[in-house]
Copies of this chain bind each other. A is one copy, B any other.
Amino acid sequence: MSSKMLSAKCRIEVICVGSELLYDRINTDVNILARILAERGLFISRCIIVGDDKKEIVDAVRSSLGRSEIIFVTGGLGPTSDDITKESIAELAGKKLFFSEEVWTKILKRFHDRNMRTIPEINRKQAYVIEGSDIMGNDAGTAPGFVVKKGKKKIVILPGPPVELMPMAERYAGTLRVRDKAGKLRIHRFGIAGISESAVEETVNPFLESFDTKYTILAHPQMIELLVTFGPGMKKIRETEEFFKQKFGDGYLGLDPPSLPEVIGNLLRDRKWKIAIAESCTGGLAGKLLTDIPGSSEFFSGSFVVYSNLLKKRVLKIPRSVLRKHGAVSEQTALYMAKGARKTGKADVSLSITGIAGPAGGSPEKPVGLVYIGVGMPKNKFYVYRFLFPGNRERIRERAVYQGFIQIRRHIIDEK
């Protein structure tokens, strides 16, 4: 593929094809493309989702061609009869499809490499290519991609599954070079934890307004993310970082911060510490998130998901009297859970979470959303915090875990 200098004002649209995307499949293709393009200072102006319907596909691509220079089309390249992206765009561009022996050989090889002896006849369909297009190989699947030229505009057709789309989109983006300075505009991500979205906005707004820059605040359960667009050079970025450090202290997570579990993993690794967790209402989510990180065995000892009182007693040695007197959701139980996790898990630090995630099980004294978080630190120091989280079961559980991570992060940083 030839490399071409692009104006940063080059407008890009994305069309995602798939009836399931208009029903219950969640579309992430646009986000994948957005991240890859943002690396080169390019942004997506619009995304259109259409079903597996030739008229809809053709109409959407035609309207995008009227507005934009590059149209990415993802999905609908599979072998089944409802996959018609290739056929639709060939028709729009007035091109024919022909059978490519070269592509078919690659598909056959892929099946052989996987010890699959019988190749489904329907996969032959994927060996048909659009005449006059650049064909892009697919190392992670059987559907090739295509770059179809239409005048000065380009239609870039890529498979929908993220694992196939990602490397192919990276490769294609590698051929795009941005010409003018404006193209060097980049989105920078700043992370802030443990401070409310509105408090962040009120602090940040007057400061960033003075820079005359665009920003977006995203509130995730684990952190507030600020996306700020800056031109080339580091000066404004450094000033912003200084300001955030001064205003938010420990709550400032940095530029392009890793996820909160990764932050904790890094802090623990640096200290050669291990963590053990005792979870009740979160059911394993805290452990799951920490072990999302490759190599987490370096710092993660394990998690005791003690959902029943029986297990709380048996595994974490929480005295029967404590459970009887204060209940499973109490400051005292959270404390004993943190102690038990640290001891039984032979860990340096521990985190415990016990609460009422609902929808049932609440009472006037202990409402749904009540969560106690315990933190265990070296030298047998233990801390317990009480929270009342809004939202449904899912949100309460998520907030409980991330609030736990925020608390333990703070304690690890503060520990001299």
Contact = CB atoms under 8 A, between A and B. Distances in A.
State how many copies of this chain the complex holds.
2
A380 interface: no
B310 A346 contact: yes
A264 interface: no
A283 B294 contact: no
Chain A's interface size range is: 35 or more
Contact of A217 (B35, B80, B291, B359): B80
Given A56-B45, A311-B301, A359-B294, A218 B283 contact: no
Interface in A41-84: 43-52, 56, 60, 63, 80, 82
Contacts of A279: 284
Interface stretch (A24-32, A85-93, A406-414): A24-32
Contacts of A19: 216
B22 A43 contact: yes
Contacts of A202: 120
A203 interface: no
13 contacts: A23-B35, A26-B31, A46-B56, A48-B49, A52-B216, A281-B291, A283-B303, A284-B285, A284-B305, A291-B307, A292-B394, A314-B346, A315-B315
Interface of A: 19-28, 30-31, 34-35, 38, 43-52, 56, 60, 63, 80, 82, 120, 122, 163, 187, 198, 201-202, 216-218, 227, 274, 277, 279, 281-288, 290-292, 294-297, 300-308, 310-311, 314-315, 344-346, 358-360, 391-395, 397
Nearest 4 CB-CB pairings of A with B: A283-B291, A284-B287, A284-B284, A303-B305
